[in-house]
Amino acid sequence: MREKVSAPNPTLGDALRTFLALLAILPGLIAGLLTWLASGNRRRGLNLATRLWGRQGIQAAGIRLRVEGAERLKTRPAIFTLNHQSGIDPILVCALLRENFVAVAKSGIRKNPVLGPAFTFAGTVFVERGSGQEAERALRPAVEACAAGLALAIAPEGTRSAGQAVGRFKKGVVHLALATGVPLIPIVIHNAGNILPRGGFIMRRGEVYVQVLEPIPTEDWTPANLDTEIEALEQRYRDTLNMPEDAAESPHSDN
């Protein structure tokens, strides 16, 4: 089990790096918008924007990424799930997936003055909490993105969890898997809460360890087994987060 390390009090340098990491959104937005206008290709502009923010954001924040199973991040189309530990997760997703993906997020993030415009520009699928036909309509753009060959990135917990804990997974992710039939690839993030704790505003520099697990086939899923599948996915996260690091499944690489 990886122990949670108590984060030191933030310094002036931490505050400056946090500002620069957020400011790193702007070059990506500007470059992406100009590329879109010049080429007429919106996806090309979005890919440039996410690559730039992912790379520049983690550099500015002083984050070192250590990734197992990095080759699986290139799978398209796919549904990438991640445990939501920290406010830095959007930067991590951009740094990991880089291009040809669409995020699925709660609609409330549109109100964020910094992330809202960036997420909207990136074509994020915003969903309200709901059920039945309302939820199905909200997820339709995500299904269409998969049909176009893109990946989806979604945090099934729907909110940030503390430390190594895993919150209850919402069923939207398994409904997406059922509707698309694409593989589901779990991304397990460790230590992100040490960089920016829940409720915090200042990032600390440090290492984030990421495990990209083997794809889970979904083409044989049925409505009758969705409860079983979501419980199995949730338990897989719990088991992996509490697994000794020397029991990891493959050699790691820097991303």
Question: Domain segments of the chain: what residues?
Answer: 64-254
Q: What's the CATH class of domain 64-254? A: alpha beta
- Strand bridging mode 206-212 / 184-190: antiparallel
Interhelix angle 12-23/25-39, nearest 10 degrees: 10
Q: What is the dihedral of CA 218, 173, 248, 239, to 10 degrees?
A: -110
d(CA 28, CA 46): 9
pTM score: 0.89
d(CA 81, CA 189): 10
Q: What pLDDT score does 128 carry? A: 74
State yes or no: cis peptide before 77, omega within 30 of 0: yes
Q: What pLDDT score does 108 carry? A: 81
Q: What pLDDT score does 7 carry? A: 58
Residue-level pLDDT, tens digit, the chain, 255 residues? 454 555 567 789 999 999 999 899 899 999 999 999 999 999 999 999 999 999 999 999 999 999 999 999 999 999 999 998 888 999 999 999 999 999 998 888 888 887 788 888 888 998 876 555 666 787 899 999 999 999 999 999 876 666 667 888 988 899 999 999 999 999 999 999 889 987 788 999 999 999 999 999 999 999 999 999 999 999 999 999 987 655 544 434 456
Q: What pLDDT score does 99 carry? A: 97
Compute CA distances 81 → 5, 10, 41, 183, 234, whole Å: 24, 30, 27, 11, 10
